A and B are shown apart, each in its own frame.
Chain A
Amino acid sequence: MQDTFFLVIFYVTAAVAVLSTLLMISRLNAVHGLLYLIVSSLSLAIIFYLLGAPFAAALEVIIYAGAIMILFVFVVMMLNMGHKGVEQERQWLKPGGWIGPGLLALVLFAVFVPALSGGLVSTGPRLVSAKAVGIALFGPYLLVVELASFLLLAGLIGAYHIARPPEITGDDSDSLTSARHHDDIAIEPLQGAG
């Protein structure tokens, strides 16, 4: 009884995940896409929980649905594409454009399915508590934690450096303004061309 209930929840959530992902990749409006991505992440979190990984489920919600999505939303808001963006997307997403990639993905999936059916030596999903994960993280996997922090540091410094106006050398006192000013001049002809 409980098993059946478990399975029903699993297959329903899986269907939701697939559907929301499908909707996400086909949306014209970026914000809609992001919302579907959150739905997809949440359903994955449920599946993580069903698989006995509550720690990962929480992580999925907090980091994916929480942090990473927020970054995307910020950027979408900054770019402020609005209706113009939707119109452009409509032009870009011709139905014909889906055929090739779709076929490719189907064949890829066809390779996956037989390979991933059976042959796995396992005893079914088992609960791995947050405590066990914590012990592993700060035991044998201590270096993963440390190195992951350096990975984030690399991302941080990279993003900080790339998205920031450049250093201005010389006697220009109001350096930041002049850098932006310069940038505007640089993109003007392109604006006209676009």
Chain B
Amino acid sequence: MVDVALIDHVFILAAILFCLGLVGVLVRRNIIFMLISMEIMLNAAGLAFIAAGSAWGQPDGQVMFLAVVTLGAAEVAVALGLTLLLFRRYQSVDVDNLKELRG
């Protein structure tokens, strides 16, 4: 069908998205953006699974993708609950408020 190199390029794309998600988590102080960036990292992993499954012509990649999506949904549910509490406590979504625990 197409060039074998394409699969490599899909993985490179996944790596780019993964790195961008990581930058998002590192740069943003807004917890909502951190969570979205985490979703991007998960999405990048999902893309890698799809690519791998496609490369081998197996359904396993898509099954794993389903599991990744499930994890994303479950994580976001709890995370948004915590976000609401964070906002209620500090009137802000800044995670840098959280620095009591240290030493």
Question: Which residues of A are in contact with B by a Cβ distance under 8 Å?
Answer: 3, 6-7, 10, 14, 17-18, 21-22, 24-25, 27, 30, 33-34, 37, 40-41, 44, 47-48, 51-53, 55-56, 59-60, 63-64, 67-68, 71-72, 74-76, 78-79, 81, 85, 88-89, 92-93, 97-98, 100-102, 104-106, 108-109, 112-113, 116-118, 120, 122-128, 132-133, 135-137, 141, 144, 148, 151-152, 154-156, 158-160, 162-163, 183, 187, 190-191, 194
* Interface assignment of B98: CB less than 8 Å from any CB of chain A: no
Residue count of chain B within 8 Å CB distance of chain A:
78
B65 lies within 8 A of A79 (CB): no
Instruction: Give the residues in chain B near A22, CB-CB below 8 Å.
Output: 20
Bound-state CA distance A10–B67 (Å) is 25
Number of A-B residue pairs, CB cutoff 8 Å, is: 262
Question: Which residues of B are in contact with A by a Cβ distance under 8 Å?
Answer: 1-13, 15-24, 26-30, 32-33, 35-37, 39-40, 43, 46-47, 50-51, 53-63, 65-67, 69-78, 80-85, 87-94
B88 lies within 8 A of A183 (CB): yes
Instruction: Give the residues in chain B near A127, CB-CB below 8 Å.
Output: 57
